[in-house]
Amino acid sequence: MKSIKIALTAVLICLVSFNINAQSGKYKCMLQMSNYMGEGAYIVVSLINAKGDYEKTLYVMGDDKKWYKSLKEWNKFHTAQKSDDISAKTGASVTGGDRSITTIEIENSKINKGYKLRFESAVEDQKYYVNDLEIPLTTEGLAEKTEGKGYIRYVRLNKI
């Protein structure tokens, strides 16, 4: 009887784990920077809802918090959200011509529902791009290479 309970518990744990993993997908995010001169860029990747509002911070490239204020629009959201803990979602800033590869997690329920990923960028003593690039969270949008408008040359996502 005890071994049956253990087996049923193991099956239940596997089913719950599968259901949790099925609710979101992991994507390899390859970001290529343009060849600009200057310091490393701070870049934030945010989930933007169908109304155009920030919903969640997915990743931050740049770990010195004193420079977060240079990402003006995102910083307003981040400082207002006491629950927006980004400590596990940060990495190094990226300099001109460099490439960065990170992993971001996207909830499957957000795909094909009007959401998008916004890449916001800033470089010390240079221009700030609130919308360096945006990727629509559609099946097609996630499969395409997206060109940037500022410090980012392009971004490509691959489901892993």
How do residues 87-126 score in pLDDT, each as one tens digit? Answer: 778 999 999 999 999 999 999 999 999 999 999 999 999 9
Please report, for the domain that includes residue 58, its CATH number: 2.60.40
> In 88-147, at which residue ranges do the beta strands (DSSP E only) sit?
90-91, 99-107, 116-122, 128-136, 146-147
Q: How many domains does the chain have?
A: 1
Q: What is the pLDDT of residue 12?
A: 43
Domain that holds residue 124: 3-159
Is residue 143 within 8 A of residue 111, CB to CB? The reply is no
Please give the model's pTM, rounded to 2 decimal places.
0.83
**Dmax of the chain from CA atoms?**
70
